[in-house]
Amino acid sequence: MTICFIGNKFKYEIEAVMKLFLPLITFDFLFDEQPPQDGDICFIERVLGDGSYRLSVQVKMGEKLEEELCKRIGEFYDKADEADLCRMLYRIMQRLTGITPAWGCLTGIRPVKKVNGLLAEGKSKTEIFDILKKEYYVSDQKLELAYQTAIAQTEPLKALDKRSYSLYISIPFCPSRCSYCSFVSHSIESGSAKKLLPDYVKKLCEEIEQTAQIARELDLRLDTIYIGGGTPTALSAEQLEAVMAAVKKNFDISKIREYTVEAGRSDTITEKKLEIIRDFGATRISVNPQTMCDSVLKAIGRRHTAEDVVSAFKSARRLGFDNINMDTIAGLPTDTPEGFRHTVETLCGLDPESITIHTLTVKRSSNLFAEEEKNIDGRISEMVDFGQKRLLDTGYIPYYLYRQKNTAQNLENVGFAKAGYECLYNIYIMEEAQTILAVGAGGSTKLVNTDTGKIVRLFNYKFPYEYISRYDKMIVKKDGIAEFFKNI
């Protein structure tokens, strides 16, 4: 399909709305140019008239044609014009395709941030629902989910001060690569990635030390720690110990409120590693099965069984972990609604403190949805709906929510927790509410001014080999932290 912009360049948002309805289509874009004669075409127009201007959208798909237009008085106002054009396009595409996306035309990744903003303005639940329905056509079901999530975040978001921060430690290695993986993570099956590990851990410990010094000099206060990946427990017990010992030596962890290690895949979890995690002060771990069906585990390239997950979970309990999270993904290759139900039921039976339900993110090149796109998407919604309802009925509450690009049916990822077990780090990163100092390859430091909402990002090199070989060049970027906090 060709999208022609006339008198405007609102490509980003318009494309995002189009993708809600046509996720697999590649679009061509023209700006104030003659459109092609044939094929599906969409016109997004903003045209000047006499003391007024006209916004119009016209879409031709096959034999069908739909259009809407409206007149505006006064000057162009880009934000409002763009939002109006998006709504017009959304209504047209609804009519042409018969699809009603559950999140309406709310395309950003942080719906809860919008609700939190409206709550901060003193709006009531009814007013918030009215606004989000009118502006974005969000369904009641998703509004309720976003609202409940925002309410669960009220206390954790209140407890912040402007010099508190979280520390993120990136371990972008995994024992093997899952077929659906969209992260930059390196399988240590390949000899070359494994060979990098000793140097990676060395540089990481250096960066931990240098970051701690910066934080001390700026009088910043460490609040939470998150060691994530990849799979942090892909490190050997000695390497994991070296990283956690570097944290303990360089930071005062006696007053932090949370310390998570994403243990991740059960094929990497040993009692020895769990003991190290516990003894070096972590208070929360993740054991992430994604599915409890052996056939699906096999299909996604995992080398462990559901039984291994249960046994890793039980070991963690035996060793004293009383805050365990388990992740699932709805829509994995070969999974079915029955299979997903089995996964959720099994996890509920294990009774972890939190369970996260993700929706599969589809790579653009993936042919996962190519044939029976709607069919499979419908089944993923069914899985997500079942999982969310089952967790709500069991007493878990949604406490963080985010969406990603290219997620099946534009659905969401939701963290559910028992009351009091909400992961603070997850809330702060999703709501961009607290500074995060990140270390390791792929780490992205996010500096947040809690007074003004201003955010500055500093990126580490993405790949471990670059991180190791260009470490000295990269570390200079950390001067940006002092620069940012100079006037705060």
The DSSP code sequence of 87-106 is HHHHHHHHHHH----TTTT-
What are the strands, taking DSSP E only, across 423-470? Answer: 435-439, 444-448, 455-459
Q: Which is nearer to ligand SF4, 54 or 177 (CB)?
A: 177
Chain centre distance of CA 349:
26
**Count, residues in the chain:** 488
Q: Which is nearer to ligand SF4, 151 or 181 (CB)?
A: 181
Q: 429 Cβ partners below 8 Å, 6+ apart?
A: 166, 168, 436, 446
The yes or no reply on residue 368 touching ligand SF4 (CB under 6 A) is no
- Structure tokens of 278? 């516990």
Using the rule CB under 6 A, is 185 a contact of ligand SF4? yes
Q: Is 105 one of the binding residues for ligand SF4 (CB under 6 A)?
A: no
Q: How far is CA 473 from CA 4, 76, 218, 463, in A?
A: 43, 45, 22, 14
State the Cα angle at 120 between 152 and 423, rounded to 5°.
25
> Around Cβ 75, how many Cβ atoms within 10 Å?
6
Q: Closest distance between ligand SF4 and the C-beta of residue 204, in Å?
A: 17
- Count residues contacting ligand SF4 (CB under 6 A)? 11
Q: Is the CB of 156 or the CB of 228 nearer to ligand SF4?
A: 228
Least spacing, CB of residue 186 vs ligand SF4, in Å: 9
DSSP calls for 5-24:
EES---HHHHHHHHHHH-TT
| Phi, psi (degrees; rounded to nearest 5) at 320 | 105, 5
Between residue 229 and residue 258, which ones bind ligand SF4 under the rule CB under 6 A? 229-231
Q: Which of residues 260-279 bind ligand SF4 (CB under 6 A)?
A: 264-265
* CB of 181 vs ligand SF4, minimal distance in Å: 3
CB of 288 to ligand SF4, least distance (A): 7
Query: Would you state the structure tokens that stand for residue 468, as one six-digit string?
Result: 């190791």
Residue 354: how many CA atoms within 13 Å on its side-chain side? 26
Q: Does 348 bind ligand SF4 (CB under 6 A)?
A: no
User: Minimal distance in Å, beta carbon 326 to ligand SF4?
Assistant: 14
Closest approach, Cβ 86 to ligand SF4, in A, equals 33
In the region spanning residues 378 to 417, those forming contacts with ligand SF4, defined by CB under 6 A, are none
**Does residue 77 interact with ligand SF4 by CB under 6 A?**
no
Judged by CB under 6 A, does residue 177 bind ligand SF4? yes
User: Collapsing DSSP states into helix, strand and coil, what is residue 180?
Assistant: coil
Dist. CA 37–CA 456, nearest whole Å: 45
Beta-carbon contacts of 217 under 8 Å, excluding residues fewer than 6 positions away, are 482
Site of tokens 């878990």: 396
Nearer to ligand SF4, 233 or 250 (CB): 233
Gap between the Cα atoms of 454 and 477, Å rounded: 18
Does 183 help bind ligand SF4 (rule: CB under 6 A)? yes
State in angstroms the smallest separation of the CB of 391 from ligand SF4: 21
Q: What's the CA dihedral at 285, 182, 102, 86 to 10 degrees? A: 130
174 binding ligand SF4? (CB under 6 A): yes
Q: Which is nearer to ligand SF4, 286 or 323 (CB)?
A: 286
Distance CA 467, CA 220 (A): 25
- Residue 178 interacts with ligand SF4 (CB under 6 A): yes or no: yes
**CB under 6 A: which stretch of 204-212, 224-232, 248-256, 314-322 binds ligand SF4?**
224-232
Q: Is 299 in the site for ligand SF4 (CB under 6 A)?
A: no
Tokens 């000057």 sit on residue: 75
Q: Tell me the window of 79-87, 177-185, 381-389, 412-420 that interacts with ligand SF4 (CB under 6 A).
A: 177-185
Of 181, 214, 218, 319, the one binding ligand SF4 (CB under 6 A) is: 181
Q: Between 58 and 187, whose beta carbon lies closer to ligand SF4?
A: 187
Q: Which part of the chain contacts ligand SF4 (CB under 6 A), choosing from 100-108, 176-184, 193-201, 476-484?
A: 176-184
3-class secondary-structure state, position 402: strand
Nearest distance from C-beta of residue 73 to ligand SF4, angstroms: 52
Strand 444-448 and strand 455-459: pairing? Answer: antiparallel
Q: Would you say 57 or 188 has its CB closer to ligand SF4? A: 188
Residue 172 vs 352, nearer CB to ligand SF4:
172
* Contact positions vs ligand SF4 (CB under 6 A): 174, 177-178, 181, 183, 185, 229-231, 264-265
